[in-house]
Amino acid sequence: MGPSDSGKTHLAKALGIVACNDYKVEYHHCESYLEGMVSLKETDYKKYDRKMTLLSKLDLLILDDFLPHTITDEREIKVMFSVLEKRCEASKSTIVRSQREPKSWASMILNDEVASNAITKRATKHYTVVINTKSAN
């Protein structure tokens, strides 16, 4: 996490590109990814289920621009929890890139303390990297 234009996306993509040499990797813009997964779940559950199974087998999943806006759709919250839960259960790596600190996520997830706590615990399970930029004087 870090401020806008601090290189978060560049770093996440660079890590993903290097990882592609030896591992299965996917990169997604979080907001459009969630919208697509919710739509897929509603229109073709079998395909959604296969996609979720594949996600748990990926070595690295990169979710870029996590929580730029409040998630008000409970279906998106459920999908996000499911993705992170499956990846934790499978001990797979996930990079969640955000401008917001995890402690502020609760107010961004429908003000649902239980869901936001569960998502935050899974998204920040091992490490949180903060990118600080020096101000130009």
CATH of the domain at 104: 3.40.50.300
Classify residue 82: in a domain, yes or no. yes
Classify residue 97: in a domain, yes or no. yes
Classify residue 131: in a domain, yes or no. no
Q: Which pLDDT belongs to residue 133?
A: 58
Classify residue 135: in a domain, yes or no. no
For residues 23-42, average pLDDT? 94
CB 89 within 8 A of CB 124: no
Tell me: the pLDDT tens digits for 81-102?
899 899 888 889 888 888 877 7
Give the count of domains, the chain.
1
Q: Which pLDDT belongs to residue 35?
A: 94
- Say whether pLDDT at 136 is over 50: no
Classify residue 105: in a domain, yes or no. yes
Q: Which pLDDT belongs to residue 61?
A: 93
- Cα distances (Å, whole numbers) of residue 44 to 5, 37, 78, 106: 38, 10, 17, 30
pLDDT band at residue 137 under the 50/70/90 scheme: very low
Classify residue 132: in a domain, yes or no. no
Classify residue 94: in a domain, yes or no. yes
Domain interval for residue 110: 8-123
SS3 of residue 60 by DSSP: strand
CB 2 within 8 A of CB 133: yes
Classify residue 3: in a domain, yes or no. no
- Say whether pLDDT at 130 is over 70: no
Tell me: the pLDDT tens digits for 113-128?
777 777 777 877 665 6
CB 128 within 8 A of CB 8: no
d(CA 78, CA 136): 42
